[in-house]
Copies of this chain bind each other. A is one copy, B any other.
Amino acid sequence: MIDRRAAGAILTIDLDALASNWRRLADRLAPSGTECAGVVKADGYGLGVAPVARTLHAAGCRTFFVAQISEGIALRAALAERPAAVFVLCGLLPGTADLFAAHRLAPALSTPEQIAEWRGLSAELRAALPAPALHLDTGMRRLGLTAAEAESLLADPTALADIAPATVMTHLACADEPEHPLNAEQYDLFARLHAALPGVRGSWANSSGVFLDGAAAFEQARPGVALYGVNPTPHLPNPMAPVVRLEAPILQVRRIDAAESVGYGASHVMAAGSRVATVGVGYADGFSRALSNRGYGVLAGTRVPIVGRVSMDLTTLDVTRVPASEARPGAMIQLIGPDMPIDEVAAHAGTIAYELLTQLGRRYHRVYVGGPEGAAA
């Protein structure tokens, strides 16, 4: 834990907002009986997999997805004896079945090679493994069985019996663009393959997918980023509560006496009489260098522009519009939070909030508020 006095910034993670976001999505899915799973890969989208998973579990979440085996191991340790299914999206990598078995992780089998690996396991290992998912590629062309591979599998009752999948899943490529024709294509193909697997749970929607009509047709949805407060409906107001707040105390305020450049490469020239505040947050903290001369912080209710290049450990902001009595060392500048939504920061950085979240740095003083007892322990 980084000492608050010694940290460049304070990262506050609102576990109650996280829980309320999960409930909001679960409520939306409830009428069709669709389960709301939780995606907690990439260390719970950068917020800490242990407090995140414990909070979601207390809210009612019973199925979790991670990307990598190491994440599944960390998640299982965080959940301790809490009942939960954990799926690993990278699937059964060669020679890793013992790790899956030891930590009760279910692979999302995504290639013919992984299916062969699964079918070749010893009876003993198989008995220790939870039922896997089948990962179908319906349009990402990334991981998952192609339609042709899936169809040849469906035509082989021995193979299917051997695998005994609990879940069949796919991944949407354009769910945040409801009008994109690929959504209907992915829905149709997945619905057809899912119908050929009676009794197997279909897992179709991601965060944005929860807001598409198709989500209700399947037994499970797997929201991720929306849980963490990112807008899953980019063309509409954000239905999710903000979860993350990043605030940095001013280290120093510099009055510019004559027109002078600021920062590396002298990329920004300040007018005489302006004032520049420096905070101890930089791209080594995941505060993207693409925010150089773009974006804002909020100080005493006023937007203060980032000026000069974001450097490794420091960022400079033009605080000329804020009275000197408020723009002083120790005053807090909000860099992400209710007044500076993470989706907007991401837009300034030319990326998406997912990347900002998963890059949140290790040097912040992290504060968890709310959540069930012991969530942050």
Contacts and interface: CB of A to CB of B under 8 A. Distances in A.
Contacts of A264: 140, 173-174
Interface string A312-345: 1110100000000000011000000000000000
A283 B113 contact: no
A7 interface: yes
A194 to B, nearest CB: 21
A260 interface: yes
Central interface residue in A146, A173, A257, by most chain B CB within 10 Å: A173
A94 interface: yes
Contacts of A91: 251
Contact of A254 (B94, B146, B180, B352): B146
A355 B90 contact: no
Contacts of A350: 290
Interface string A26-44: 0000000000000001110
A313 B266 contact: no
Contacts of A263: 140-142, 173
A142 B358 CA distance: 27
B313 A43 contact: no
A167 interface: no
11 contacts: A41-B312, A41-B313, A42-B312, A42-B313, A67-B280, A68-B280, A140-B262, A140-B264, A142-B276, A142-B314, A359-B359
Given A5-B99, A177-B265, 8 more contacts: A3-B99, A46-B284, A91-B251, A140-B263, A140-B264, A141-B254, A142-B252, A283-B355
